[in-house]
Chain A
Amino acid sequence: GNSVTQMEGPVTLSEEAFLTINCTYTATGYPSLFWYVQYPGEGLQLLLKATKADDKGSNKGFEATYRKETTSFHLEKGSVQVSDSAVYFCALSDRGNSGYSTLTFGKGTMLLVSP
């Protein structure tokens, strides 16, 4: 079946540091890949997505490239801010047994940014 593996957190950085959160996946088909972000006490918000190999998703200074050869979708940001502190979830969307799209999530990586 499908699965997503993320690096364990928490990731602790100082403001303006470079961020990488690793994500690899296993899928039987050709999934779409997503990064969702969850701020404290809130629901999941889509951060970025990529629907095919070599696509790069980007938003709010974050970016991730769909690498089919390494089955990876690592999240990067050049300069993090305190307001980026949140939990980040990597996810894939594929047609499940039902034939309809469903999301499979990783366990999440907490990012803590200090001033």
Chain B
Amino acid sequence: EAGVAQSPRYKIIEKRQSVAFWCNPISGHATLYWYQQILGQGPKLLIQFQNNGVVDDSQLPKDRFSAERLKGVDSTLKIQPAKLEDSAVYLCASTQGAQGNTIYFGEGSWLTVV
């Protein structure tokens, strides 16, 4: 079974530039998450989708971050304009949805803002 796919794996941009990350979840997984992991910290939830609807975006900095999952399958996360403090690993994850089900993570997209 294919895992959660993410791209690009690595990205270096200058501050105030924009960047987009793509995620393709495991087939059949209705719930998709984007997490931000800053070096030395645990992952923090940015946004959660159920199919193509947003169910939690309370911690998403909406002035610069946006995300969509138009057809309920793959998703994109965009940052515009980027700040130095956005340097982090952006993790996409998916699950079938029921509590206790395993949430599977992709390898992450590593962003450095200089």
Contacts and interface: CB of A to CB of B under 8 A. Distances in A.
Given A44-B91, A108-B42, A100 B50 contact: yes
For B42, B93, B101, which residue has the most chain A Cβ atoms within 10 angstroms? B42
Nearest to A9: B40
B31 interface: yes
Interface residues of A, number: 29
Interface stretch (B14-22, B69-77, B79-87, B103-111): B103-111
Q: Which of B44, B45, B58, B105 has the most CB of A within 10 A?
A: B105
A45 interface: yes
Contacts of A108: 40-42
Contacts of B40: 107-108
A101 B55 contact: no
Nearest to A91: B42
A107 B44 CA distance: 10
Contacts of B55: 98-100
B105 A106 contact: no
B99 A94 contact: yes
A93 B99 contact: yes
Contacts of A89: 42-43
Given A32-B99, A42-B107, A91-B42, 20 more contacts: A4-B42, A34-B102, A36-B105, A43-B106, A44-B91, A44-B105, A46-B104, A49-B100, A89-B43, A94-B99, A95-B99, A96-B56, A100-B31, A100-B48, A100-B56, A105-B42, A107-B40, A107-B41, A107-B42, A108-B40
Interface of A: 4, 32, 34, 36, 42-46, 49, 51, 89, 91, 93-108
18 contacts: A32-B99, A34-B102, A43-B91, A44-B105, A46-B102, A46-B103, A89-B43, A93-B103, A94-B99, A95-B99, A98-B50, A99-B55, A101-B31, A102-B48, A103-B45, A104-B45, A105-B44, A107-B40
